[in-house]
Amino acid sequence: MTITGIVAVDRNLAIGKGGGLPWHYPADLKFFKEQTTGNACVMGYRTWLTLKRPLPGRLNVVLTSRAEVEPRESVVWLRDKQSALSLGVYLKCDLFVIGGAQIFEAFREEIDRWLVTEVPLAVEGADTFMPQDFLRGFGPRDTRDLGDGLKVTFYEREG
């Protein structure tokens, strides 16, 4: 199982504002769907709340310490990172870490590769950011133009 971090960042590494994505780019959403469909997507509870419904065609893994969770088809509620990683024994797919910031940080040492979409904005009032050094130990392997001024770079762990 490969563990991939997938994130879109603005020019200042912002990833969120007011509990949601601070932009809407159909090309980025299409790329996200293409990459993650058929795989498992691990996210934090706040990221889960931004979704209107479970991501279709994917196993939705939501990490939360809440005792009360609503059973949903294709959604697995887990308490911690180790529980999510232990799914690898049972899954015949890859694991995509989709956010938010605390989840990216928690999986930092386990992520094998990153897919980073650069958004051509500097979001005013952004309140959630990726760490400046989140790509330390990774090298770029490929870049793809998604249109709308978006560029995605594929990074692989080095060494």
Class of domain 3-157: alpha beta
Tell which residue, 121, 138, 144, has the closest CA to residue 13.
121
Task: Round to whole Å and give the CA distance between 17 and 122.
Answer: 12
Q: Structure pTM? A: 0.96
pLDDT of residue 113: 98
pLDDT of residue 104: 98
Alpha-carbon torsion angle 155, 100, 107, 3, nearest 10: -50
Domain ranges (residues) in the chain = 3-157
pLDDT of residue 68: 86
pLDDT of residue 144: 98
Give the residue carrying structure tokens 């130990």: 137
pLDDT of residue 108: 96
Over the chain (159 residues), the average pLDDT of each successive run of 10 is 97 96 96 98 95 95 91 94 94 96 97 98 97 97 97 96
pLDDT of residue 67: 85
Tell which residue, 94, 91, 54, 89, has the closest CA to residue 74.
54
Question: At 124, which amino acid appears?
Answer: E
pLDDT of residue 52: 84
Are 22 and 14 in contact by the 8 Å Cβ rule? The answer is: yes
Phi, psi torsion values for 25, nearest 5 degrees: -125, 110
Give the residue carrying structure tokens 């697995």: 76
